[in-house]
Amino acid sequence: MSTVENHQSPDRPTTRLATRLVFFVAGFVLGCWSPLIPFVKQRLALDEAGLGLLLLCLGIGSVLTMPLAGIACTRFGTRKVIVWGGIGLTVIFPVVAITASVWATVAIVLLIGVFLGLLEVGMNSHAVEVERGSTKPLMSGFHALFSVGGFAGAGGAILLLTVGVTPFLTAFLSAATGLAIISVAWPFLLKNEKETESGALVFPKGIVLVIALMTAITFLVEGAILDWGALLVTGQGLVEISMGGFGYMLFSVAMTIGRLFGDRFVAAIGSRQSLVWGGAVTIAGVLLITTAPHVWVSGAGFVAIGFGASNIVPVLFSLAGAQRAMPHGQAVAAVATAGYGGILLGPAAIGFVAEVSSLPAAFFLLALLMSIIPIFAFRATAAIAKPC
């Protein structure tokens, strides 16, 4: 059970808006990071392998922090965790644009991952609390603002860099924007909501393990589209190398649109059917891009994956917050950690399968793994006391 000490209603419009703003900030800062990566690579004279290891540090920092973030949510409330994560992330972010050595940059990227992990768990736990106080699903809309933030952050950073703004000033302005939004949002977040259960580290159990597995698989598929989608379509001879990113663009747009309308969709058919149909459409999309004889078929497949997967993760986070096998803050942390684990380990696993077999075979394996989502949809929703 959770208590809200100041009796602030989770269903207030200002609280919902503040939660959306926090999701926007997380996506915004990550979006700003992407255009800065080539400048970091150039400044440090890194090769591709070195850059890959550096980028891995962000995920490592997040994954190692997320279980501790769940404990912090339980002990101190999600509002404080969001503020800690948001302030830390925006303060440390510009430093990555001026570090002079590889090891200093590694340390900063790890810290960015740490604060991002705090923010991710805090905002999803807070979103769970807000949704539990509402009569309708809200999680997809929250996650949609993360996607919108990513577009805005990347677009803004690209614009600044294009007109000659230095990487440091670009990072500083981006971070200042994020900090300003956090400052506007935090007074309207739920204050001091804590769970009465112990804040000790608890290994995921029962239904949370099922939800975490489903989340890891979904994130693995999303990561595969980002890391391997372009290689798949260019390897099939469907497009030139310069156009290889078209698939991820279509996937991203479809996912954002799917999440913007996702709350209505989930409210109309329920969490269970959202998982079943979302999983089925995603599987169909993966099979389409794997066997596409023409670029338009492949494009339709990427769109299908975006729409199909768009509401699976939000529904799974909602289920993690509604279950009673463990404190919801720690359950959300376990689900988030599993998702990031899927993103971290997935690309390497796909590369291994592609090496011993082929890239299309690896994507066929993804479709097979994705079948777990509709198969386990009943199990994931049956034990939830309060359906989402």
Q: Name the residue with tokens 């501790």.
A: 68
Q: Name the residue with tokens 């999440």.
A: 259
CB 277 within 8 A of CB 266: no
Diameter of the chain by CA atoms? 60
pLDDT value of residue 11: 60
Q: How confident is the model at residue 169 (pLDDT cuts 50, 70, 90)?
A: very high
Give the pair of three-digit tokens for residue 319.
Answer: 């289920």
Q: In the CATH hierarchy, which top-level class contains the domain 2-195?
A: mainly alpha
Least confident of 160-174, 175-189, 237-251, 293-307: 237-251
Q: How confident is the model at residue 3 (pLDDT cuts 50, 70, 90)?
A: very low
- Residue scoring higher pLDDT (121 or 244): 121
pLDDT value of residue 135: 79
Domain chopping of the chain, boundaries: 2-195, 207-382
Distance CA 124, CA 122 (A): 6
The residue count of the chain comes to 388
Query: Residue 19 above 50 pLDDT?
Result: yes
pLDDT value of residue 132: 82
2-195 and 207-382 have identical folds: yes
- Residue scoring higher pLDDT (57 or 327): 57
Percent of all residues in the chain with a pLDDT value above 90, rounded to a whole number: 43
Kindly report the pTM of this predicted structure.
0.79
Q: In the CATH hierarchy, which top-level class contains the domain 207-382?
A: mainly alpha
Q: How confident is the model at residue 388 (pLDDT cuts 50, 70, 90)?
A: very low
Query: Residue 193 above 70 pLDDT?
Result: no
pLDDT value of residue 23: 94
Computed over every residue of the chain, the mean pLDDT equals 85
pLDDT value of residue 202: 58
In SS3 terms, the chain reads as CEECCCCCCCCCHHHHHHHHHHHHHHHHHHHHHHHHHHHHHHHHCCCHHHHHHHHHHHHHHHHHHHHHHHHHHHHHCHHHHHHHHHHHHHHHHHHHHCCCCHHHHHHHHHHHHHHHHHHHHHHHHHHHHHHHCCCCCCHHHHHHHHHHHHHHHHHHHHHHHHCCCCHHHHHHHHHHHHHHHHHHHHHHCCCCCEECCCCCCCCCCCHHHHHHHHHHHHHHHHHHHHHHHHHHHHHCCCCCHHHCCHHHHHHHHHHHHHHHCHHHHHHHHHHHHHHHHHHHHHHHHHHHHHHCCCHHHHHHHHHHHHHHHHCHHHHHHHHHHHCCCCCHHHHHHHHHHHHHHHHHHHHHHHHHHHHHCCHHHHHHHHHHHHCHHHHHHHHHHHCCCCCC
Q: How confident is the model at residue 203 (pLDDT cuts 50, 70, 90)?
A: low
Percent of all residues in the chain with a pLDDT value above 70, rounded to a whole number: 91
Q: How confident is the model at residue 386 (pLDDT cuts 50, 70, 90)?
A: very low
Q: How confident is the model at residue 232 (pLDDT cuts 50, 70, 90)?
A: confident
pLDDT value of residue 273: 94
